[in-house]
Structure 1
């Protein structure tokens, strides 16, 4: 049975996956999310932490035997049992399918929509509206799949349910108001079934669905931003004293620098320069043109050549370049 410590910060929904999986499997998991065991932004930047977890990201897991893992899905998988991972190759593949679905289809639009309401990210109306439309598609897929199912894979909670439900916690708590979630009753029924399981409630507590869609608060966003120290004011340069009418002298104009002297030609260069310029032996001939198609496509080349034959005086053309070079 797995045993170890999970490093994270409070209310990190990614760490919830590992904690809930441990509740089901019975893995002995200690959670380090506050001082002195772990302080986010400090502990995860120390050489000792980076030696085990090079990116310095959380959640991060260190087993009692020294085994280390980062990435929330890998940690949750390690802390799960066979029932959560899937009891057959088909079930295991379906679990992986929904875990990937959560990462690829739910989290990106959910982050774009929810993070501004939490003050984590600046609000962008166009991006938010697009995220809402993407979320409707995601909910439609889930609603259809859950129409005849209690859980995503099989007849019991699996890692698929844990991963997808955790990725939707902040959606239901912040923005999925009754009117928005009304067309997707199967998803809401499934979500409430999951979060009310004892193993979920031990980690999440009571999950209350929002009554009204949260909105972006500029003040909250401003307060969440790190404060920048004001740059020191530069001393004003001392004012130049104006010269009096009598004592002041006009500034002298700068003399132009003399141009560098030209290098002297040697005897060979002088002889070449003294020779009369030769005339172009082809200057008396009429002007020629060069056809160069913009492609190596044979059909285009032939079309260009046929047009030249039909519409132009070929005496003007001296050559035809097949490769546009």
Structure 2
């Protein structure tokens, strides 16, 4: 029978899996989650800990015989008995199926939805709405599976139930209010059955189901962020270090001129539009805001089309090109503050076409202003759009919503202007 220590921080749902498995199997498990036995952020960074667990992550298990394991699913599996793991090859495979299902289908949307309500992560409206839809899909699958079953695999609790239930604890506690879970009665019945088993309760305590869906709390999020220490004032300036030849050459170079220095300040605040675009609905909020505030005197809108589509016969090549172009925009702060580039790969037969709609604070493309911004400029054909035209309005809508007919591209396809 296994015996050892589980290192973790308090209330770590990933550690719950191993603890509950040990309750069922009878494995002797000590939990080190508080000082002096374990201090998260210190103990797991010590040389002794890293020598046994190279990633420094928790939960981590060390047996009394010196056997070490990291990764919560592996630890839970090791601490289980045959009944939990699946008594037959078929049952064992089904258990593994649901363990994988929890990792790939439940945890990502659950984290995106729940973490902002706990102050762990910044709120993003689109990500949260997508997470809700993904959780509905998960609940639908589980509800159908549990229509004629008490547990996920077989007639008794298995590691499948332990893993899936633990991955859903925070969903049920924080956001799955009665109206949301009402269409999935089999899932709620199963979850309540699991968490009320003595072995679950010994680890989780009393699990109270959510009565009202928790929302993002900006104040809580601010409190959770690490405080920045204000550096103490220096009483006396430290002596300057001697520069080597390389530093001396760099220091002697003339400072780059701000490419936007000669331009008047625009009333259109690009970052304000980006916040709308990132956190609110594109069609009903972001695009109306764009057109209501767009500065037609200061800004222009450009359509760009990649010149060499025959190079993009493989999907990863298109993805690399888009990623590189987007990184240039975001990494160069001056350009980032004045633009928002939307790039869409469009497929024709076996090739891709990269096309761009780019609002820019200039009457010319911003990449012409500075050599640092011209890396891919010549690889595109650029065309300035008329903001008053229906063509421009349609293209802005389609490219920023990432959906539509894209008729201008279809016309070019048919005329052989893109693919020859």
| Equivalent in the alignment of 2:58 | 58
Aligned pairs for 1:106-125 within 5 A? 106-125=106-125
Kindly state the Cα deviation for residue 232 of structure 1 after the two structures are TM-superposed. 5.8
| Equivalent in the alignment of 1:75 | 75
Partner SS state of residue 6, structure 1: strand
**Structure 1 runs of 4+ with >3 Å offset:** 231-235, 293-296
Unaligned runs of 5+ in 2: 236-307, 312-420
Q: Deviations over 1:74-98 (max 9, x none)?
A: 0000000000000000000000000
The 1:80/1:294 distance shift into structure 2, 3 A limit, reads closer
The 1:234/1:73 distance shift into structure 2, 3 A limit, reads same
| Equivalent in the alignment of 1:206 | 206
Query: Which protein is bigger by CA-based radius of gyration?
Result: 1
Partner SS state of residue 168, structure 1: helix
Cα distance in 2, alignment partners of residues 231 and 81 from structure 1 = 55
| Equivalent in the alignment of 1:227 | 227
| Equivalent in the alignment of 1:257 | none
Cα distance in 2, alignment partners of residues 177 and 124 from structure 1 = 20
| Equivalent in the alignment of 2:175 | 175
Q: CA RMSD in A?
A: 1.8
Unaligned runs of 5+ in 1: 236-292, 297-325
| Equivalent in the alignment of 1:102 | 102
| Equivalent in the alignment of 1:320 | none
Cα distance in 2, alignment partners of residues 26 and 234 from structure 1 = 60
Cα distance in 1, alignment partners of residues 42 and 95 from structure 2 = 35
The 1:294/1:150 distance shift into structure 2, 3 A limit, reads closer
Cα distance in 1, alignment partners of residues 153 and 213 from structure 2 = 30
Cα distance in 2, alignment partners of residues 129 and 234 from structure 1 = 49
Cα distance in 2, alignment partners of residues 19 and 294 from structure 1 = 55
The 1:231/1:74 distance shift into structure 2, 3 A limit, reads same
| Equivalent in the alignment of 1:93 | 93
| TM-score (ref. length: structure 2) | 0.56
Partner SS state of residue 18, structure 2: helix
Q: How many residues align?
A: 240
Cα distance in 1, alignment partners of residues 117 and 183 from structure 2 = 23
Q: Deviations over 1:60-118 (max 9, x none)?
A: 00000000000000000000000000000000000000000000000000000000000
| TM-score (ref. length: structure 1) | 0.72
Cα distance in 1, alignment partners of residues 221 and 58 from structure 2 = 23
| Equivalent in the alignment of 1:195 | 195
Kindly state the Cα deviation for residue 229 of structure 1 after the two structures are TM-superposed. 1.5
| Equivalent in the alignment of 2:164 | 164
Partner SS state of residue 31, structure 1: strand
Partner SS state of residue 30, structure 2: strand
